[in-house]
Amino acid sequence: MVTMAEEPKHEVETDTPPETPTRQIPGVHVGPPTPESELDPETHEALQMKVSMKIVGSVMVFIGFIQVFLSVSTGAEITSFPMILYFVGLALWAHSSVKIPRVRYLIIAFSLVCALGFFQLGEVLFWHKYVIYWGTIAMVVFFMFQNPKKPSTPK
């Protein structure tokens, strides 16, 4: 009498290797990497340039704002260099971050005109520092309360 445990197993050989089990996380691909990249090398380079411009612009805005902030809080005088640094950084940041072209180029034009104005004027008045100070705070508050857009799921 043959029981079920004693039945011989028949294995079928195939040309395909066995699939590795993957955990399913909604919206995230888990498993071995695909051999082909989703983006071509030119798109990768453009994305890297955009990220580096965003980082450099943010750092320039931060360094310029710190000098303006210290000047406002202590009452010290500053040169026009921190203002030029602030506005050039704002132009770089806008070029890499703002999606709507009209808004992007308006911000770039405004910031470059302001930077050239401070370069030509050569001095920073009391009200200039307060406009930059409160304008930066308003910009940070605006972006802090923005809801992030959820990425669409590919079909």
Instruction: Show me where the domains of the chain are located.
Output: 48-144
- Quote the percentage of the chain above a pLDDT of 90: 39
Average pLDDT (48-75) is 91
SS (H, E, C) 102-150: HHHHHHHHHHHHHHHHHHHHCCCCHHHHHHHHHHHHHHHHHHHCCCCCC
pTM: 0.66
| Band (91; pLDDT cuts 50, 70, 90) | very high
Q: Is the pLDDT of residue 70 over 80?
A: yes
Chain mean pLDDT for the chain: 81
Q: Is the pLDDT of residue 89 over 70?
A: yes
How many CB atoms lie under 10 A from the CB of residue 85? 21
Q: Is the pLDDT of residue 64 over 90?
A: yes
pLDDT confidence of residue 149: 74
pLDDT confidence of residue 63: 94
pLDDT confidence of residue 38: 64
| Band (2; pLDDT cuts 50, 70, 90) | low
CA distance 43 to 56: 20
- Quote the percentage of the chain above a pLDDT of 70: 72
pLDDT in tens, 120-132: 988 888 898 999 9
Confirm if 111 and 94 have CB atoms less than 8 A apart.
yes
